[in-house]
Amino acid sequence: MPKQHLFLWHRVCTVALWIIFSVTLFIANISSKNITLAESSASRNIAVMIVSPGKYPIRGKYLEAIGIEETKDKNLRITLFTPGGTQKPIADLEERWFIYPETPNRIWIYYGNDILELQEFSKNRSATSSPLLKTSLISDIPKPVATRIPQSLRNKLVQASKEARTDGEF
C-alpha cells in the first residue's frame, strides 16, 4: 500500500475512534445523572391523564405527587402530596372521574359529578382551587380535559361563556 493511502487510512480510523469515544462519554454522562429526554420534557408539561387509583409522581416544585386511594367505604379519594408534607384529602371521586396534571403547578380535576376544578400551586406551597364555571377559566381548559368531560358539562360551560359575554365579563 502506498504511503499516502496509509496516512489517509490512519486519519479515517483516528476520526472514527474519536467519534465513538465522544458518543460513549455522552451516553455515560447522561446515564450517570439519570436524565432522559422524556423526563426533562415531562417537567414542563406532564400531560398524562390519571384515571385509576395509585400514587402518581409529579415532581414539581410545589407538588410532589397525586394519590388516589380507595377508602373503607369503597369511595375513591384524592390526596395531594406537597414537599412540606401531605395535604389533607381534598375530595371523594365519583364515576367517570379523571385528573389531568397539565403542568406540575396546574392540576385539572373532574370529580365525576359535573364538577371540574383547577388546582394551582404557588410559592407559598398552598393550593388554590377555581370552580368550574369561573368564566376566566373557561377558555383555559386544555383540549384533553375539554374532550373528556361529559356533554352535559360542556353544555354548561358553553352556556356560562355565552352569558358572560352578554354580561360584559369578557
pLDDT at res. 83: 79
pLDDT at res. 148: 92
Q: Considering the chain, what percentage of its residues have pLDDT values greater than 70? A: 62
76 and 129 in a single domain? The answer is yes
Task: Convert the chain into a string of H (helix), E (strand) and C (coil).
Answer: CCHHHHHHHHHHHHHHHHHHHHHHHHHHHHHHCCCCHHHHHHCCCCCCCECCCEEEECCCCCCCEEEEEECCCCCEEEEEEECCEECCCCEEECCCCEEEEEECCEEEEECCCCCEEEEEECCCCCEEEECCCCHHHHCCCCHHHHHHCCHHHHHHHHHHHHHHHHCCCC
19 and 65 in a single domain? The answer is no
Residue range of the domain that includes 17: 3-35
Mean pLDDT is highest, among 19-23, 65-69, 83-87, 111-115, for 65-69
For the chain, how many structural domains are there in total?
2
8 and 89 in a single domain? The answer is no
27 and 99 in a single domain? The answer is no
18 and 102 in a single domain? The answer is no
pLDDT at res. 72: 87
Ranges 12-16, 51-55, 101-105, 124-128: which has the least confidence? 124-128
